A = this chain, B = another copy of it.
Amino acid sequence: MPVYKAPVTDQMFVLHDVLRIAEQEIPGYADLDRDTTQAILDEAAKLSENVLAPLNPVGDAQGCKLENGVVRTPDGFKDAFDQVRDGGWTALDCDPDYGGQGLPYVVATAVGEMFSSANMAFNMYQGLTHGAYNAIHAHGSEDQKRTYLPKMVSCEWGGTMNLTEPHCGTDLGLIRTKAVPQDDDTYSITGQKIWISAGEHDMCDNIIHLVLAKLPDAPEGTKGISLFIVPKFMVNEDGSLGDRNSLSCGGLEEKMGIHGNATCVMNYDGAKGFLVGEPHKGMRAMFTMMNEARLGVGLQGYAQGAVAYQNALAFAQDRLQGRDVTGTKNPEGPADPIIVHPDVRRNLMDQKSFIEGARAFTYWGAEMIDRSHLAGDADAEGMISLLTPVIKGFLTDKGFETTVLAQQTLGGSGFTREWGLEQFVRDARITMIYEGTNGIQSLDLVGRKLAQDGGKHVMAFFDMVKGFIAENKGTDADIDAQFLEPLKKASKDLQAAGMYFMQNGMKTPNNALSGSYDFMHLFGHVCLGFMWSKMALAAKAGLASGSGDAAFYETKLATGRYYMARQLPMTGTHLARIETGADTVMALDAASF
């Protein structure tokens, strides 16, 4: 059975040594001293390690079952959900007005990483509820908020997001679900939604569905979509539950992974719904919290990589095969542990250097979201909007790749069920697809975010990196040569790619769109190179201070050097691909394939 140990020390390093959260002028951050965050993370670690992680293979093996319209979650899920609820974990970053704890999102992100690593399918029940909470909190009426939010904060009630229909997912302008106004200011919702995560299950007393639908007079396309609250059980004036609404789970999807989460076909047959916000403004409402939702998926991607890596490492330190070519390391044993072999190291270092860089990138992103939401900082909002598709796309592609690398460390054992690695691979795979496929992320990045506000945010990004290099160079030769120089080179590749798009993509958009995916990865590498440079400086500062764990800081530096030397050169290939433009990509007729 796979193991999970929450990486609290690494998390603390990012929060306090790198991001220095307690020193940031963001409302609520001043309370986040080391002792406070340590206490929160330690408690979350216990729950993750002792309760959630052991249920992960159980959820995979049992899956969810639909019986007479009721979805049964795997054994132990309900008890565990009670523990998560009772510990107040579902309320962590929610509004105190509705029973939340009001902590910053960056703290919830660190906790979320643990829960996702420990049991991604399980944590989605809460995650989807939180997403629905966010949408109602941002766009619901006062009455709606009072009616639904407190129970959603506590996760006594679940929440879902209903977008996709059989004939459309990416292109939501095509949806057919209808919302017909009734005399009592409610709407009659009719249509079929698919791939609804946590659409029906037995862990909550009620489920609050958020459903995209079209009013009879709706304009064509995405400008004609409205958002509705459609509760499973109607809620009486006094807050008690009333009649069952006319909606049902029509089936569960059989899928590659996240078997512990119920992926439902939802049928709305004249169900009673309540409009959220204005008519025809549903897309905007649904996507207000998109940065946060997509960051959450990027987090899931590297979190699966993180737990997979832990198990790969344990195997590599334990499994005896062959001898170190530079001299026997385990003379008492029949062979040396496989971690002595350079190619096993290469594999482990690829995993480790990605995961730790991804963690810093994600927490930094969460800090920007806090800065935007809590401090009303428009620049932070612009920057995180730019970087969100990179966090989502790059971290899930690489996170999945990391699970595959970890699986490979185990050789044949990695392919078997009992070691658990193959589940991490199967579970991680969905992160590249949902919440907007990674192709869509790259399109969002290149087709929308680059040019947003006149290109202001991407210019700010380049200035930030340039300023960071200028500010820090010349004080430490190692930092200069091993971090700042490679970062500068990678950043130049990114700028060159942006320049190529400017010069070739305006007239011929396909020249830019053909390179969007490579650009997303190029950008991701630059961000991780930036993060590793920041982490290296923090580690150097830690060493210089003479306090703290010197070995920890040295390991951090060595891991960073690996990333800069061995991962960052990918930017050259991505740029080369981008600079070939659309010619070879679009050469064939669709029929010639």
Which residues in B have their C-beta under 8 angstroms from that of A551? 592
Question: Do B255 and A416 have beta carbons less than 8 Å apart?
Answer: yes
Question: Do A412 and B433 have beta carbons less than 8 Å apart?
Answer: yes
A408 to B429, CA, bound (A): 9
A288 at the interface (CB under 8 A from B): no
Given that A432-B408, A439-B408 are known contacts, is A325 also in contact with B509, CB under 8 Å in the complex? yes
Given that A325-B510, A577-B569, A588-B559 are known contacts, is A433 also in contact with B417, CB under 8 Å in the complex? no
Question: Do A169 and B322 have beta carbons less than 8 Å apart?
Answer: no
Question: Do A195 and B326 have beta carbons less than 8 Å apart?
Answer: no
Which residues in B have their C-beta under 8 angstroms from that of A326? 509-510
Which residues in B have their C-beta under 8 angstroms from that of A412? 164, 169, 194-195, 433-434
A585 to B345, CA, bound (A): 6
Which residues in B have their C-beta under 8 angstroms from that of A417? 253-256
A162 at the interface (CB under 8 A from B): no
Using a CB-CB cutoff of 8 Å, which residues 411-427 of chain A contact chain B? 411-412, 414-418, 422, 425-426
| Interface-facing stretch out of A182-190, A291-299, A347-355, A495-503 | A347-355
Which residues in B have their C-beta under 8 angstroms from that of A426? 256, 426
A426 to B439, CA, bound (A): 22
A340 at the interface (CB under 8 A from B): yes
Which residues in B have their C-beta under 8 angstroms from that of A174? 320-321, 334-335
Contact with B along A380-422 (1 / 0, CB 8 A): 0000000000000000000010001001100110111110001
Using a CB-CB cutoff of 8 Å, which residues 530-583 of chain A contact chain B? 551, 554-555, 558-559, 561-562, 565-566, 569-570, 572-573, 576-577, 580, 582-583
A562 to B581, CA, bound (A): 11
Nearest opposing residue in chain B for A347, CB measure: B439
A168 at the interface (CB under 8 A from B): yes
Copy number in the complex reads 2
Question: Do B256 and A415 have beta carbons less than 8 Å apart?
Answer: yes
A243 at the interface (CB under 8 A from B): no
Which residues in B have their C-beta under 8 angstroms from that of A476? none
Question: Do A585 and B415 have beta carbons less than 8 Å apart?
Answer: no
Which residues in B have their C-beta under 8 angstroms from that of A590? 317, 329, 337, 339-340
In the complex, what's the smallest C-beta–C-beta distance from A78 to chain B, in angstroms? 25
Given that A170-B321, A422-B256 are known contacts, is A430 also in contact with B415, CB under 8 Å in the complex? yes
Question: Do A585 and B562 have beta carbons less than 8 Å apart?
Answer: yes
Question: Do B572 and A566 have beta carbons less than 8 Å apart?
Answer: no
A517 at the interface (CB under 8 A from B): yes
Question: Do B437 and A408 have beta carbons less than 8 Å apart?
Answer: yes
Nearest opposing residue in chain B for A164, CB measure: B412
Nearest opposing residue in chain B for A344, CB measure: B439
A/B interface sample: 26 pairs, CB < 8 A: A164-B412, A167-B320, A170-B321, A170-B322, A254-B418, A256-B416, A256-B425, A325-B509, A329-B590, A341-B513, A342-B513, A343-B513, A349-B585, A408-B439, A411-B433, A411-B437, A415-B430, A555-B588, A555-B593, A558-B588, A559-B588, A561-B583, A561-B587, A566-B580, A569-B573, A569-B576
Q: Beyond A347-B439, A555-B588: 10 further Cβ-contacts under 8 Å? A: A325-B509, A341-B439, A343-B516, A345-B514, A346-B585, A349-B585, A408-B433, A415-B430, A426-B426, A565-B580
List the interface of chain A (C-beta within 8 A of B).
Answer: 164, 167-171, 174, 194-195, 253-257, 313, 317, 320-322, 325-326, 329, 334-335, 337, 339-349, 352, 400, 404, 407-408, 411-412, 414-418, 422, 425-426, 429-430, 432-434, 437-439, 442-443, 509-510, 513-514, 516-517, 551, 554-555, 558-559, 561-562, 565-566, 569-570, 572-573, 576-577, 580, 582-588, 590, 592-593
